[in-house]
Structure 1
Amino acid sequence: MTSTTATPSAAPAPSPTSKPANSRARVITASLIGTTIEFYDFYAYATAAVLVFPILFFPTGNDTTALLASFATFGAAMLARPVGALVFGHFGDKYGRKATLVASLLTMGIATFLIGVLPTHDQVGWLAALFLLILRLAQGFALGGEWSGAALVATENAPAGKRAWYGTFPQLGAPIGFIIANSLFLVINTATGGSEGAFLEWGWRVPFLFSAVMVIIGLWVRLKLVESTAFEKAAKEGAIRKAPIGTVFRHHWKQLILGTFFMLATYVLFYLMTNFTLTWGTKPATVEAAQAAADAKGVAFDASTFYPGGGFAYHDFVLMQIIGVVFFGIFTLLSGPIADAIGRRRLLIWVTAAIIVFGLAFNVFLLPQADPKFSGALVQAFLVFGFMLMGSTFGPMGALLPELFPTNVRYTGSAIAYNVSSILGAAVAPLIALVLWEVAGPWLVGVYLSAMGILTLIALIVSKETKDVDYEDAGIGSSAVL
């Protein structure tokens, strides 16, 4: 593969122990803000896809059809993410991290804001659904390049021996985004009368419009970034490739495969702890309660298709999730220093083994209990344990995936692995979990999580430790990671 050399820097090539190019505060903010918006957007859209979009954008006359159409636009972002990973990865490895990060955040911010000002079906007919789909695809496209760029900003500017700790900053965007989005929707939903009245008229738009505030802050910080010393070194040594995509598939395909499976259990756990648990937790716990809910809505009820859930009120269960997500954030931060001390691979092997055991214990926490108070305590413990494991496995990924690749294909390689894993884990996990739940109950959903954990564990066992890899390897020769 031929290469082209970017304009060389006038400064001498930096050493692996050279001072980071950007201040700690700038690195933290620049890497954190984008992923916070990413997950904030995910939960805002997911909530609106249930409460708002079926009514205002897909009024088909059938509740199930409208909900399916709404979720179809939600899932469309997953298809756009790998495309965004290829495009932003290409430009990030060829022209630098700064401009690419600014472009991805701006694209994401504009798309999210515009959702908040979209006309509804009553105003423009089927064009409303089309506009919503286009903006959702734009969000997915932008998000395909956002995570990797944020992870590279953090890790390529990390001091020696603290790469995993710095890599937890973009990961922290997941719990922060969850808390902000769900708290804001709860407040607005309560203040405007729930699914009726002012909430449907204008209240649902506020979370999407509010994202502009975070985007402006993120752009202000990212425009002040300078390129990392690792990228400057790669440019000076002539390692920049004309087609990073071709290079990563030709010379680093093993890393792509392993990186994808490293993230598999993490993605499945994440979406089970959020989407599946919310569905299970707010579903009636008894046939009588389900019958009463159906009667109140004026719809038919078939007891033969009923599968019991937690029976919690929506507001109560979301608050329980938020409590669990606090532990998600705490353990995300704690995982970084531990991974720097003992290695990413060793930590993740232990955490993944714990995820496998946790999956097999679903029945202990989610079986109906005779005492509702005891059941509530068990479910809260379930959420806390699950999110603790989520933070412990998600935190080190901010360093691990980029460490699999040399500088000249690091953006492309880590973006592809991260986003392909999102399809294998995130895109199908809610559907698979729902089917398994209806077939045999929550215990089979836990078995599914354990099975994905075993695949991740195998990938970790056959891989090598990346803690001490030369992170300023420009990529002129072959990678020594595997």
Structure 2
Amino acid sequence: MSISATQTTAASSQPANSRGRVIFASLIGTTIEFYDFYVYATAAVLVFPHLFFPTGDDTTALLASFAAFGAAMVARPIGSVVFGHLGDKFGRKATLVGALLTMGIATFLIGVLPTYAQVGWFAAALLVLMRLAQGFALGGEWSGAALVATENAPAGKRAWYGTFPQLGAPIGFIIANGLFLIIAALLPSDDPSRPSQAFLDWGWRIPFLFSAVMVVVGLWVRLRLVESTSFEKAKQSGTIQRLPLGTVVRHHWRELLLGTFFMLATYVLFYLMTTFSLTYGRTPTDAAIPGLGYSYNAFVIMLIVGVVFFGIFTLVSGPLADRFGRRATLIVVTLGIIAFGLLWVPLTSLGFVGVMAWLIIGMSLMGFTFGPMGALLPELFPTNVRYTGSGVSYNVSSILGAAVAPFIAVALWTAGGGSIFWVGVYLAGAAMLTLIALLLSKETKDVDMER
């Protein structure tokens, strides 16, 4: 009897998944999901205004493309509710597989869509539908990947493990934009502000179709996972909720609100430094609304250099958050984001060196603020509603931040006659709201994930 009890205790103390499997599964899935998302974001700037929203006015076409881009952010909270419900009731593994398949199929189908020239505005409707499917899938992906990492993390290293699903964002960005860069180089354009005709005819489709290969790899990894001990214990103890969303709203509404505003500065910063900056950086200096005047290839290379710093400081942030706490680390970083927002004009006025510093500083701050979120948001909620709670917080914030950030930035830039001063102020304002939420919160690094 004692031998059996000892064996049972030993077995329960062992991690459900090996360290390598946890890290790889949480990293590969988010890399693929973010790759798919960024492929669309890049095409929303380069291709879709020409092929799906030909309004006759470049600014209007760009805003229409950004509006379709933002539609996915509206679908993300819905995806977080649906996949969160499934993940909290039936387990993390099958839910993550479903999210990855949904994203992969939607992205592949974008690569074969007809354009406005072929079917009129029906093409734009199909594009928005696929974009909604992408957002729906990403709504379920991130929180599941974060839970795989944090629920299997050893003691004292939860924030470190939580940075690996976060690392999928910079890696996915580099792969997506690197592939677009290679295709643009192979199909060069005589006009640096506009892709070549061959790129517009068929080249842009390649990154979307390539997604299918990456999804196969991701599925192979995800199918080898087993459930975390946290979820298995919740199931065995009978604490699984019939309606996780209802439980979260009734009993954890404060954590939902705080988590939503924790993420606000992160979302606004990232989409300003990627989607908006790609527009601003490529716009000629002598345009009606002047930009920085770089060619597409040159500015994407500059962006990729900045994103390398994003990846480095995402990893650095984990040990810092484990040592000093999530709250203290993020308060310091958020103060840095506020200061950075007020320095946009001075930095970008210094020529190439200043623009490069602008991108590197912004992306480094992005790594510092994004990395700890992989542990912080799951730690706010108990096991039986963790998938739903962390996912809803993360994705509702996407509406307040990511969905409107490029649109607001373009409107402020246009209203300022080419000045980005108010765009930087907008970032600082969003970071101020995040700072208030952090000051109202408590430290979570020592919470019991099996509570």
Give your verdict on TM over 0.5. Answer: yes
Q: How much has 1:13 moved relative to structure 2?
A: 7.8
* Aligned-pair Cα RMSD in Å: 1.9
What is the distance in 2 between the residues matched to 1:52 and 1:217?
Answer: 28
Q: For 2:310, which of 328, 345, 354 is the aligned residue?
A: 328
Q: For 2:150, which of 151, 155, 158 is the aligned residue?
A: 155
Per the alignment, residue 447 of structure 1 pairs with 425
Residues 36 and 103, structure 2, Cα contact 8 Å, conserved in 1: no
Q: In terms of mean alpha carbon deviation, does 265-274 or 354-363 score higher?
A: 354-363
For normalisation by structure 2, the TM-score amounts to: 0.92
Residues 45 and 278, structure 2, Cα contact 8 Å, conserved in 1: no
Q: How much has 1:14 moved relative to structure 2?
A: 8.5
Residues 321/159 of structure 1: CA separation in 2 closer, same or farther (3 Å cut): same
Per the alignment, residue 135 of structure 2 pairs with 140
Letter in 2 for 1:362: W
Q: Deviations over 1:402-441 (max 9, x none)?
A: 0000000000000110001111111112222223333442
Per the alignment, residue 450 of structure 2 pairs with 472
Q: Which runs of 5+ in 1 are unaligned?
A: 1-10, 291-305, 370-374, 474-482
Q: Which runs of 5+ in 2 are unaligned?
A: 1-6, 190-194
Q: How much has 1:109 moved relative to structure 2?
A: 0.6
Q: How much has 1:63 moved relative to structure 2?
A: 4.6
Residue identity over aligned pairs, in percent, reads 71
Per the alignment, residue 241 of structure 2 pairs with 241
Residues 71/272 of structure 1: CA separation in 2 closer, same or farther (3 Å cut): closer
What is the distance in 2 between the residues matched to 1:376 and 1:309?
Answer: 13
Per the alignment, residue 70 of structure 1 pairs with 65
Letter in 1 for 2:432: I
Q: How much has 1:173 moved relative to structure 2?
A: 0.9
What is the distance in 1 between the residues matched to 2:321 and 2:125?
Answer: 45
Residues 44/411 of structure 1: CA separation in 2 closer, same or farther (3 Å cut): same
Instruction: Please state if 1:188 is matched with 2:206.
Output: no
Residues 196/312 of structure 1: CA separation in 2 closer, same or farther (3 Å cut): closer
What is the distance in 2 between the residues matched to 1:51 and 1:472?
Answer: 46
Per the alignment, residue 396 of structure 1 pairs with 372
Query: Which protein is bigger by CA-based radius of gyration?
Result: 1
Per the alignment, residue 458 of structure 1 pairs with 436
State the SS of the aligned residue for 1:172: helix
What is the distance in 2 between the residues matched to 1:89 and 1:148?
Answer: 8
Letter in 2 for 1:324: G
What is the distance in 2 between the residues matched to 1:63 and 1:443?
Answer: 22
State the SS of the aligned residue for 2:112: coil
Residues 22/205 of structure 1: CA separation in 2 closer, same or farther (3 Å cut): same
Instruction: Please state if 1:262 is matched with 2:262.
Output: yes
Residues 14/388 of structure 1: CA separation in 2 closer, same or farther (3 Å cut): farther
5 Å-filtered alignment, 1:373-412, equals 375-412=351-388
Per the alignment, residue 477 of structure 1 pairs with none
5 Å-filtered alignment, 1:87-106, equals 87-106=82-101
Letter in 1 for 2:393: A
Per the alignment, residue 293 of structure 1 pairs with none
5 Å-filtered alignment, 1:79-90, equals 79-90=74-85
Q: How much has 1:59 moved relative to structure 2?
A: 4.4
For normalisation by structure 1, the TM-score amounts to: 0.87
Q: Deviations over 1:436-467 (max 9, x none)?
A: 33344222222221221121111111111100
Letter in 2 for 1:350: V
Instruction: Count matched residues.
Output: 438
5 Å-filtered alignment, 1:211-290, equals 211-285=211-285, 289-290=286-287
Residues 62/381 of structure 1: CA separation in 2 closer, same or farther (3 Å cut): closer
Letter in 1 for 2:442: K
Residues 123/438 of structure 1: CA separation in 2 closer, same or farther (3 Å cut): closer
Residues 66 and 406, structure 2, Cα contact 8 Å, conserved in 1: no
Residues 255/214 of structure 1: CA separation in 2 closer, same or farther (3 Å cut): same
Instruction: Please state if 1:432 is matched with 2:415.
Output: no
What is the distance in 2 between the residues matched to 1:197 and 1:436?
Answer: 31
Residues 33 and 100, structure 2, Cα contact 8 Å, conserved in 1: no
Residues 29 and 218, structure 1, Cα contact 8 Å, conserved in 2: no
State the SS of the aligned residue for 2:226: coil
Q: In terms of mean alpha carbon deviation, does 343-352 or 438-447 score higher?
A: 438-447
Letter in 2 for 1:221: V
What is the distance in 1 between the residues matched to 2:270 and 2:44?
Answer: 19
What is the distance in 1 between the residues matched to 2:257 and 2:165?
Answer: 23
